[in-house]
Each structure stands twice: as structure tokens, then as C-alpha cells.
Amino acid sequence: MVPLLLLSIAVAAVGVDRLRFWRRLGSPTDRRWRLVENQLLEGSSPTGVPTSSPVGHLMRQLTAADGPAARQLELQLILQSQAAAMARGERILEAAAALGPLLGLLGTVTGLIRTFAALGREVGAASMDRVALGISEVLVSTATGILVALFAMVVLKINMAYRSSYLALLERLALSFERNTHQLVCRG
């Protein structure tokens, strides 16, 4: 049961970390990002972009890049670094989703072995009550393992969805930035 407890602590820690991470960034479907995209498509410089956000970082790097090839390279580098930051903890969640039920089952099997070993030493009606109690206790291990795996899978899928949405947002904004830059060059 100790490995299952440690696994549940790890899953909870990753879940809290991801919650804080995504709360800090905000939703990829937030109105402010659509406003930035519209400003870029209209040919104006985006306003109100937090400099600490991935979008702010993207805008700074694309503005500093010299030429379309350099901007494309910057975009790829930013997408890679942001994807890595956004995927942090996913391996732990994947492992927990796979290991949770197995550790729960292991706890159940070892608990049943102990229960039946104790039953072999006792005889009578009192021993049947003890067996029923022992079996109910060991099944908690299986249920806990399944719950840990379920929570890990939910956190993992939510994180993957947010990551995918944010990376798509960054690509859209980079494309809008490139269109804006191209329009300015054509006008000038």
C-alpha cells in the first residue's frame, strides 16, 4: 500500500503543478488571444500581450528575427520549448495510469495471502468474520489503485488538450504575424 500512496502523492503533485501552470497562462481560447490575432490580421501591432506569456515570448522573438527563414526557425524553437514546458509531468501521469491498478491488484493479492494465512491458523465461526473483514480491507487497495489511475488519466488528458490548443494558438499567431509582416513589406 505504501507504493500506491507514493504514487498517489506524485499524481496529486503533478496535478497541482499543472493546475497552477495553466491558471497562470490562462485559457488558449481566451478573448485576449483572439484580440491579438485580429490586431495582427488587421496589420497593427498587438497590444496587451503579457511579456511573460508564451504569446509575448513569441511576439518578441518573431519581431527580433530578421527575415521569414529566421522567423520560421524561431517559431520552431519556441514551439519545441513551449511544448516541453507544457508537457511537464505527463510521463509521470502516464506511468501512474498504468501502474495504479497494478499496484492496487498487488496489494489485494498480498492482503488475501495474509488473510488466508491467518485463516489457516484459526478454526470456527469467528474466523469467517475475520476473513470477510480481511477481504473487504484488501479490496480497498484495488479501488485505490483504480482511482489513482483514473485521476492520473483525467489530469493527463486535460493537460494534453490544453497543450495542443496552446501550440495551435502559437502557430496561428505566428502565421498572422507573418501575414502582417508580409503586408507591411508589400505596402512599403
pLDDT in tens, 46-68: 777 877 888 888 888 888 888 88
C-alpha cell at 104: 492496487
Q: What's the Cα-to-Cα distance from 157 to each of 90, 95, 161, rounded to whole Å?
A: 9, 13, 6
> Looking at residue 82, what is its pLDDT?
92
As for how many domains the chain has, the answer is 1
Rounded Cα–Cα distance for residues 9 and 19 (Å): 15
Question: What is the tens place of the pLDDT at every residue in 78-90?
Answer: 999 999 999 999 9
- What are the phi and psi torsion angles at 72 (to 5°)? -65, -40
> Looking at residue 160, what is its pLDDT?
96
> Looking at residue 122, what is its pLDDT?
66
Residue ranges making up the domain that contains 59: 2-187
Rounded Cα–Cα distance for residues 131 and 167 (Å): 54
Name the nearest CA neighbour of 120 among 111, 110, 131.
Answer: 131
Global pTM reads: 0.82
Question: What is the tens place of the pLDDT at every residue in 129-175?
Answer: 777 777 888 889 999 999 999 999 999 999 999 999 999 999 988 88
Q: Could you give the percent of the chain with pLDDT greater than 70?
A: 93
The whole-number average pLDDT for the span 12-22 is: 96
> Looking at residue 126, what is its pLDDT?
59
Task: Say what the alpha-carbon torsion angle 26, 31, 33, 39 is, to the nearest 10 degrees.
Answer: -160
Name the pLDDT band for 185 (thresholds 50, 70, 90).
low
- The pLDDT of residue 15 is above 80: yes
H-type alpha helices, the chain: 2-25, 31-41, 54-64, 68-86, 90-121, 125-187
